Amino acid sequence: MTIAGKAVLVTGANRGIGRALVEEALRRGPKRVYAGSRQPFSHPDERVTPLTLDVTSPAQIQAAAGQVESLDILINNAGVALYDDLSDRSVLQKHLDVNLFGTYGVTQAFLPLLTRSRGAIVNNVSMMALAPFPVTPAYAISKAAAFNMTQSLRALLAGRGVRVHAVLTGPTDTDMTRGFDIPKASPQSVAQAIFDGVDHGEEDIFPDPMSQTMADSWRGSVAKALEHEYAAFVQAQPAVA
Ligand SMILES: NC(=O)c1ccc[n+]([C@@H]2O[C@H](COP(=O)([O-])OP(=O)(O)OC[C@H]3O[C@@H](n4cnc5c(N)ncnc54)[C@H](OP(=O)(O)O)[C@@H]3O)[C@@H](O)[C@H]2O)c1
């Protein structure tokens, strides 16, 4: 799967990694880049089509899907991260609404187009899907859930020819990590590594120096082997309508 000649949709496209994904996609010769944003968004490149898209709004998701004729790659990138200590249920709910159900809702809406194109879904999850940083535990829970959903979708959609990638992103220099004084990758390098990972057919993409240190051990882990074992079980069953 290369981006050249393809239609790509990025959610949360107005800033941070999403904005870098739009720019990187444009460098790779796409047919069209749909830039989903809940903010007013414009881009000088005529291959960019802005879409009003709050991923928590079923109406906006439906309207966006109606504006897209064909789609090859959906990148669920929109996300929210707030500091918390798990004492406030509403904070957990907010993370789940955006990071889990937002990704779910957008994916379901665009699945018919992706099935038709035998395309790909790319979910920008986080290293925190594998281990929580307890300064943002609600965020980590939502990303663990989104990663788990990604693994199931990968198995469930394989028979339809739709590839499903998880991006286990580490610290990247965006508004989201402004409060952390730690080494961070640039959004541009992360965007580049995400598309390279899709090109190379990597199920799980580790797009920055910190996440890369985990790549080999994750790919050789008991948990990854179990994912493949369970996926083979699903793929051996007759499709359920
Ligand atoms: N930065 C990191 O270190 C890091 C590490 C691991 C994973 N990630 C993941 O990478 C993705 C992008 O993060 P980032 O670092 O680029 O963060 P960011 O700069 O804070 O950007 C977040 C993006 O998500 C959008 N968004 C938030 N809620 C939304 C909603 N309800 N509907 C639509 N869009 C919404 C924001 O739009 P508004 O401008 O409207 O708020 C913004 O475009 C997120 O999923 C994040 O969890 C980031």
104 is catalytic: no
Query: Residue 172 Cα, ligand 1 centroid: separation in angstroms?
Result: 11
pLDDT on residue 2:
85
Q: Tell me the pLDDT of the chain averaged across its residues.
A: 96
Q: Which residue from 19, 80, 135 has its CB within 8 A of the most atoms of ligand 1, so it is best to mutate?
A: 80
pLDDT in tens, 128-142: 999 999 999 999 999
* CA angle centred on 164, ends 162 and 168, rounded to 5°: 170
The proportion of the chain whose per-residue pLDDT surpasses 70, expressed as a percent, equals 98
Residue 238 pLDDT greater than 70, yes or no: no
* CA angle centred on 227, ends 223 and 230, rounded to 5°: 130
Closest ligand 1 atom to 54 CA: 32
pLDDT in tens, 197-228: 999 999 999 999 999 999 999 999 999 999 99
Query: Residue 230 Cα, ligand 1 centroid: separation in angstroms?
Result: 31
Closest ligand 1 atom to 98 CA: 31
Q: Residue range 182-200: average pLDDT?
A: 98
pLDDT on residue 132:
97
pLDDT on residue 241:
47
**pLDDT band, very low/low/confident/very high, at 235 (cuts 50, 70, 90):** confident
pLDDT on residue 231:
96
Query: Residue 14 Cα, ligand 1 centroid: separation in angstroms?
Result: 9
Q: Residue range 99-127: average pLDDT?
A: 98
Closest ligand 1 atom to 97 CA: 31
**pLDDT band, very low/low/confident/very high, at 236 (cuts 50, 70, 90):** confident
Residue 240 pLDDT greater than 60, yes or no: no
Q: Residue range 25-48: average pLDDT?
A: 97
Q: Which long-range contacts does 61-70 make (Cβ < 8 Å, 24+ apart)?
A: 61/105, 61/106, 61/109, 62/109, 64/34, 64/36, 64/109, 65/109, 65/110, 65/113, 67/34, 68/7, 68/9, 68/34, 68/110, 68/113, 69/7, 70/7, 70/113, 70/116, 70/117
Residue 237 pLDDT greater than 90, yes or no: no
Q: Residue range 47-68: average pLDDT?
A: 98
Residue 239 pLDDT greater than 90, yes or no: no
pTM of the model as a whole: 0.97
